[in-house]
């Protein structure tokens, strides 16, 4: 069984309707059930290091975007830190994630300025549908690292987002799922291939209670800062931190992108 923990960065709103961001990013952190305990233990060791160095308690949430952009929304132990210290925590978190055993990161980016999207719901559905499909395909073709079973399945744990919408999207894809397959000569043909590897409905988790969702949040934030950095991240090199994750990126998700990021 493969478990995928998901979080996002940016918003789904359209720029022409007042959204301040051009991109919406989704990250899925994938771990096999046989590596789950080791991965959680490694993150827990990192959190103990944070506690000893920065006095951030184990139960306090690391929310990368808020740590840089909205520190007043973070726990008091994080608020008291200087901004460069908060950035250092994010950098060290990225390095800790890169060292986790046999994880893979699936990344999806929606460019909302293309004119292809008519509403926030359209952006949200497209991003999640693509993430579902890449998770399904990578399990099916046994492209994730680490242990494998002949009949592996997948289960999804998103941040506490709109669970009903995600359930409905996945149900629809289990009934009908039209894929557009590009041919060698450049034309496309359609194929109906319903989702069958992902089981159950997505199981929402409160990110405060899940170190793995907090890790996905950190990656999604660094992905967005890589393509649409704010002035602080660009000035201090934080826009390049996504490259620190190269070892654990799921490059099979998109062979046309050197980091495997699915850009839509």
> Per-residue pLDDT for the chain (264 aa), expressed as one digit of tens each?
999 999 999 999 999 888 999 999 999 999 999 999 999 999 999 999 999 999 999 999 999 999 999 999 999 999 999 999 999 999 999 999 999 999 999 999 999 999 999 999 999 999 999 999 999 999 999 999 999 998 999 999 999 878 899 999 999 999 999 887 766 666 677 889 999 999 999 999 999 999 999 999 999 999 999 999 999 999 999 999 999 999 999 999 999 999 999 999
What gap in Å lies between CA 88 and CA 83, rounded to an integer?
9
Domains and CATH numbers, the chain: 2-167+197-263 (3.30.420)
Per-residue pLDDT, 14: 95
Pairing type for strands 154-158 and 178-182 reads unpaired
In the numeric block, the tokens 């209670």 are attached to: 209
CA torsion 128-163-167-137 (nearest 10°) is 30
What gap in Å lies between CA 51 and CA 138, rounded to an integer?
36
Supply φ then ψ for residue 141, to 5 degrees: -95, 10
Per-residue pLDDT, 183: 65
Per-residue pLDDT, 156: 98
83-98 vs 211-227: helix axis angle to the nearest 10? 110
C-alpha neighbours within 13 Å on the C-beta side of residue 111: 9
What gap in Å lies between CA 106 and CA 260, rounded to an integer?
8
Under a CB-based contact definition with an 8 Å cutoff, are residues 3 and 36 in contact?
A: yes
What gap in Å lies between CA 242 and CA 227, rounded to an integer?
10
What gap in Å lies between CA 179 and CA 190, rounded to an integer?
6
Per-residue pLDDT, 186: 66
Token couple for 164: 């009903």
Task: Strands of 23-116 (E only): list them.
Answer: 23-32, 104-111
Per-residue pLDDT, 161: 76
């Amino acid at each position: 069984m493969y478990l995928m923990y998901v979080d996002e960065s940016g918003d789904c709103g359209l720029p022409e309707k007042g959204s301040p961001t051009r991109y919406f990013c989704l990250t899925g952190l994938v771990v096999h059930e046989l590596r789950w305990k080791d991965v959680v233990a490694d993150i827990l060791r990192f959190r103990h290091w944070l506690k000893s160095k920065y006095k951030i308690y184990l139960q306090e949430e690391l929310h990368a975007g808020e740590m840089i952009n909205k520190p007043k929304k973070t726990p008091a132990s994080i608020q008291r830190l200087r901004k460069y210290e908060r950035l250092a925590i994010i950098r060290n978190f990225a390095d800790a994630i890169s060292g986790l055993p046999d994880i893979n990161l699936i990344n999806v980016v929606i460019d909302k300025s293309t004119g292809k999207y008519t509403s926030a719901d359209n952006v949200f559905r497209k991003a999640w549908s693509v993430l579902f499909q890449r998770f399904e395909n990578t399990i099916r073709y046994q492209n994730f690292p680490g242990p494998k079973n002949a009949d592996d399945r997948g289960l999804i744990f998103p941040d506490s987002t709109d669970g009903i919408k995600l359930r409905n999207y996945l149900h629809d894809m289990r009934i009908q799922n039209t894929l557009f397959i590009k041919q060698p000569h450049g034309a496309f043909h359609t194929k109906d291939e319903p989702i069958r590897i992902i089981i159950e409905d997505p199981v929402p988790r409160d990110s405060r209670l899940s170190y793995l969702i907090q890790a996905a949040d950190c990656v999604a934030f660094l992905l967005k800062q890589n393509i649409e950095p704010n002035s602080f991240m660009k000035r201090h090199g934080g826009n390049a931190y996504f490259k620190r994750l190269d070892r654990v990126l799921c490059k099979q998700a998109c062979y046309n992108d050197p980091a495997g990021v699915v850009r839509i």
